[in-house]
Every structure is written in structure tokens, then in C-alpha cells.
Structure 1
Amino acid sequence: MERFSLKVFPFLALIIVGGILYPYHQHFGFLSGDKADWGAFGDFFGGVLNPLFALFAFFALLHSIRIQMKQIEQLSVDKQAEEILTVIKDIDERLSQLMTSSVGKVFGEPPFIHHMIAEAGRGGGALNSSDAYAEFVLIARQEGSMVEATVREIRSCVITMYAFTLRYPRNDGDRYAPIIHYYILKTKRVVAMLRDVGNLPESVSSFYSSSRAA
């Protein structure tokens, strides 16, 4: 739009100048040996064009201010996006650390949280999954256990991740940047387990189940 305006402006100026010169030429003509005629022509030409050019200059100034305001606004949005992305990366790093936590011995084996997340991804739920996963879900619901404390921190991280993801600026198509979509998909794998354990806010669960997080 701005490039179009810059291209049209010279043609518009020529049309205006021509629109002024033509009626003057029709009534008074241009070829004259009298300096007074040329002085009158200069007064007429300047008197008509000067206000028009001043008006164009005013509009050009407004246009320049609007562009600068857009640039400042975009810089503010980019800065906010950068700060939010830093927080999201920190949360993701903490989640990765928590996934390596051991859940103790379940039926004699020492599985880790990421094993339980993979089991939850099968979609069987706590009742239709393996015995090891069912026991893990049961222990994770018992307040005071080490497993419950770890899962509680994972739940807190996911809720915080959700809050900051909503604050990240989206593009004109209401879509997130690819890097944010990547972190949404990573977090989505954890949400299935948290649903089975319980106490996950419905808004968080719905967000990661929606098409936007697919």
C-alpha cells in the first residue's frame, strides 16, 4: 500500500498541475511578452499550488507518523514475544528434567516419568493401560508421596506454559509461530498423563486437545 502511494503521488501531482494550467491557458494563454502577464501567472500558479502542496506535505507527515507508530508497535510486540519465548524455553527445560525423575520401583522395575508419559500416550487411560501405569497413577494421586510431588510440579509447569503460550503474539491468521507450535506439541504429550492423574484445569486440557495444538 505504501509503495503504491509513492508511485501514484507524482502522477497525481502532474494531474493537479495540468488541471490548473489548462484552464489558465484557455482563458489567458501562456505566450506573452509582457512581464506583468508572467507575474500574474506566477501569482495565480503559486496561489493555487502552494496550499495544495502544503496539504500534501501535511498528509505525508501524517503518513510518516503512522508508519513510525507501526514500527514502534511491532518492536514492542517482537520484544514481548522474545521475552515470552525465553520463559517457555525455561519451562520446557524444567519439564525435560522432571521427565527423567524415577517413579520408584513399580512391580520391581525402576521406570521414569517419561516412560509413564509414553504409556499415557497410548490412550488407554488409567484403567485400560498396563498394571505399572495404573499403579503409577494411583501413587501420583496420593498426597505426600515423592511421585505425587514430582507430578504436581509437572502440572504446575504445564499450567504456566499454557498461560505464557496464550500471551505469545499470533500472526494475522491467528496462528502461532512454528517454534511455539513445537513447544505446544511437546507439552501436549505430558497432558495425557496429567489428565489420568487428575486436577488439571479444564481450560488447559481443552487447549492442548484443540486443533490449534494438534
Structure 2
Amino acid sequence: MPKIEVCLTPALLDLYAIENSIVVVIDILRATSSITYGIDNGAEAIIPVMNVEDCLNYADKGYLLAAERNGEVVAGYDFGNSPFSYTAEKVAGKTVVLTTTNGTKAMHLAQERAHKVIVGSFLNLAAVCSYLQKENKDVMLLCAGWKDNFNLEDTLFAGAVVAQLQQSFTLGDDASVAALDMYQLAKNDLRGYLKKSSHSHRLVKLNIEDDVQFCLKLDICNTIPVLEGEKLIALPQ
């Protein structure tokens, strides 16, 4: 039986052997939610880059440039990582170059060693779980966290995945057990539970509650973004 593990922050990823694992990168508020929504809405690709400066390498080449730091759009860029920037009207048929505080860094760290890297969010929870069940390989749920610290929202999503897969996978670490327990505690009112979270407080100060509510919607997307080379594209179904 394959195992499922949860890495609570990218700072711990070196402790795990992920060479044979499908890594699901999780940055619920808001990078992986926006990426999922954008690919589902017909974006040709999303290129995650580590630094704001890296975005500039793609300037004037027909790409949309998106940069977020500390929850805010970086001045001079087309948009940040709000899901409402990734509607079909804005991104269909286009390639977006994106850098965020936490999520894009986690993707690059995972890609260095993982068998495969995909993107997970509540928006595509069922699709991700179905795919992982079908592949029958070890799974690492990588929480992007906040600046290498643990956070509640990514861990909650990890717990939601564990809840759906626990009959078919061995729980490989205590973090997967803790994530599952936390999700069972919060699942009937995710937004209410996340009012305790530090990132939720940061986002409230930015007046983007609509983003938070949207990122907690369940299964409105069937697409799974997969990292192929430098680009996130739709996983062939």
C-alpha cells in the first residue's frame, strides 16, 4: 500500500525522501487556488518563478506578469494572486508568469527531487484525490506555509486529502494524522475555523475577504495543474 505524508512547511522538505512521490503543492490563500482556477479557465500555462526580479525576464514577450508579496500586488505588475484575476476573460489562451511569497518557492523546492509535482486546492480537491487514488504512488502533501512557518489553511487542505485517501494509503507520518484530525475538527465550518489563522488576519487587513471565501469553495474545477519543466499546464485527463 502506498504511503501518504504531510510536510507542514517547505523548511522540512529535506527530511523526506520524495524521489518516488507525487508531490501536491498547497498554498490555499491564494497561489494554488488561483493557479487551479486560471488553468481551469483556459490559461495556456502558468510559469512559477522564485523572485519578483525573475518576472522581469519575461517582460515585453507577450506574457502576463503577476507578482505578490505579503498579500499585495507588487507595484508595476499586471496582477497578483487573487483568484478573481484568473478569470477566462483575463487569462484564456495566455501564459502567466507568477511569483508569490510562499507557493512558487515550494514548487521549485519540490521539483528538484519529486517524481511529479501537481497543484492542489479546495477548488479541485475531488479531482486531485481521484488522480492520486488512480496513480497508486506515494504522496507528499507539501504545505507552502507562511515564510517557512506552519499555517492552518494549507494543513486543513492536507487533512481533507488524507480524509479521502486514508483507506487506500498508509499514513506515513504524524503530520498526516494531525492534519486529518484538524480537518475533522474544522470541516463543517472551514471559514469559521480559519478566522483563528494568522494569514486570515493579514488578508482581512487587505480587505480581500471575498478571495478567502472563494478559495474555500469545494470542487468547482476539474483541472489539475502539473509542473512540466518551467510551466504549470493542465494534467491530461
Shorter-normalised TM-score: what interval? under 0.3
Instruction: Identify which of structures 1 and 2 has the higher relative contact order when contacts are C-alpha pairs closer than 8 Å and 6+ apart.
Output: 2
| Bigger share in strand | 2
Normalising by structure 2, what TM-score?
A: 0.24
| Bigger share in helix | 1
Please say which structure displays the higher CA radius of gyration.
Answer: 1
